[in-house]
Amino acid sequence: MTIAFTPSETSPAEPETVSAISEPEFWEPSAPEPQEATAPQEAPDVQDTEDVQDTADAQDVQDTEDVQDSRDHDPVVVRDARDFGVYARTGGWTFALKVARSVRPGGQPAEGTAAAKVSAKAFAALAGCSPERVMRYYKAWDMAADDGLVPQFEVLVPGEDIELPDADVWLSYYTSRNSAHSVRGQAITAAAEAEGIKPTKALEVAENPTALRAAILADPGTAEAARGALLDRMKEDPALQTEMARAFARTDDLKKAVANEAKAADRIGYVRQIVEKGEIRTPAGQTVEAPAELRAEAERHLSLLDELDDSEEAGEWAGEAYDTVKGLVAKAVEEDPALRVQERRTKFYNSLQKATKVFEELTLDEVMEEDIYEADMLQRLEALQEAIGTCISALRKATTASS
C-alpha cells in the first residue's frame, strides 16, 4: 500500500514532529468491463435476481452511509480515524519511513543526492524524543532493507512515499529495548525465538527480576515454568548445579525433602532393575536371575508408578512396591536350598570382612602412649577372643564332618 504523508497542524514556531497520514480520496467502483459473448444460458430464477439486487442495494446504502458519516463528524475526528487505519495496517513502518528518509548518521547527504538529511540527534531534538529511540527505528529499517523488504536509505529522500510492509512484520525487526543489542540481550533474544515467542517479552522479564519473582511466588503455573527452565539450564551449567545443591543442603526442610525423594528414587530403581534386567539382588549382595512370579509382580508395580502424574506423591507407592518385591526376593531365597546356603555363606563372609577391618584399625600404640586405658576394654577384648575361639572350633568341626 502507498502511504501519503501530509504535515500535521502545528504552530508556526514548532518544527514538524509527527506527520499526519492521510487516506486516499473515496472512490467509486468503475463500470464493469464488457464480457465476451458466450453461449446462451438459462435465465436466472426470479428469486436469485432479487437476491443480487438486494445485495447491490445494500452495498449502495452502506457506501452512502459511510460518506454521510464522514460528513456528519468533526473533520479532526475523521482525520484521526483515517490515520489510525493507516497505522493499523502498517504499524511501526509508518514512523520508520520518516526516520529512514530523513536521517543519516552525521547528517551527510548520500552520494548523488542533493537533499540533506539530518543526524539522529538532530531528528530526535525536532521530534522531542531521545536519539536512542530514533536509532532503534533506523536499525529496524536497516535490517529490513538487508532482507530486501524495504528500500535502502540511499534511495530515499525526505518526503518520499513508498509502499510499506504489513504491520505484523514490524516486530520481527524492531525492539524497544537497548538491552537487546548487548551480548546478554542477544542470548535472550535467541532463546525466545527458539521457544517461539517475541523477544521483547523475554527481554522485559529479564529487565525486571522483581516482577518475575512476584509472579513465581503468586502463581503455581509460573513457578512450574521456572522450575522446568532451571532444570534445563542446570544440565549445562555446573556452577548453577553447585549453587542449587548448596542452597538445598543449607535448608533443613528442603534437605529432608531431597532425602525422601532420593530414597523413593532408589526404591523405584530397584524395582525397575528387576523388570529391565530380569535379575534380583539378594540381601547378602548376590545377583541372581529373578523368578517369573517375582518379575511379573515387579512389572505390575512399576506400571502403577509410571502412571502417576507429576503432581502425585510417589514416595508411598515406591515404598509399597519396594516392600512387596523385597519380600518376594526373601521368599525366593528361602525356597531355593542352594541359594539359601550361598546366601548365608555370603553373609558370613561379609560380617567377617567387616570385623577384620574394624579390628585392624585398632592401634596398640595409642594404648601404650596415652593414659586411655579402661577396665572394660580388656573385658571386651577377652569376650571377643572367646567368641572368635568358639567360631573357629565350630568351623573346624564343620570341616571335619564334611570331609
Closest CA to 81 of 64, 69, 93, 65: 69
Could you tell me the CA-to-CA distances from 236 to 182, 185, 226, 307 in Å, in that order?
Answer: 22, 19, 16, 29
pLDDT tens-digit series, residues 227-242: 888 998 888 888 989 9
Give strand pairing partners of 288. Answer: 280
Kind and range of the H or E run holding 322: helix 315-335
Written as nine digits, the cell of 107 is 547528517
Count of CB atoms within 10 A of residue 273's CB?
16
Q: Per-residue pLDDT for 53 more than 60? A: no
pLDDT of residue 274: 86
pLDDT of residue 151: 93
- Mean pLDDT, to the nearest integer, of 44-68? 44
Give strand pairing partners of 163. Answer: 2
Written as nine digits, the cell of 175 is 525492539
Written as nine digits, the cell of 165 is 510492509
Closest CA to 230 of 207, 251, 248: 248
As a whole number, the mean pLDDT across the chain is 75
CB 20 within 8 A of CB 8: yes
DSSP conformation letters of 271-283: HHHHHHH-EEE-T
Q: Per-residue pLDDT for 357 more than 80? A: yes
pLDDT of residue 55: 44
Count of CB atoms within 10 A of residue 329's CB?
21
Higher pLDDT, 27 or 340: 340
Q: Per-residue pLDDT for 316 more than 80? A: no
Give strand pairing partners of 279. Answer: 289
Q: What is the largest CA-CA distance in the chain?
A: 130
pLDDT of residue 99: 92
Residues near 6 by Cβ (< 8 Å), separated by ≥ 6? Answer: 19, 20, 21, 22
pLDDT tens-digit series, residues 74-125: 888 888 888 777 777 777 898 899 999 999 876 665 555 546 788 888 899 9
pLDDT above 70: percentage of residues in the chain: 73
pLDDT band at 219 (very low <50, low <70, confident <90, very high): very high
Residues near 215 by Cβ (< 8 Å), separated by ≥ 6? Answer: 222
In one letter, which amino acid is 122?
A
Give strand pairing partners of 289. Answer: 279
pLDDT tens-digit series, residues 172-192: 777 655 555 566 667 777 787
The model scores a pTM over 0.85: no
d(CA 301, CA 325): 9
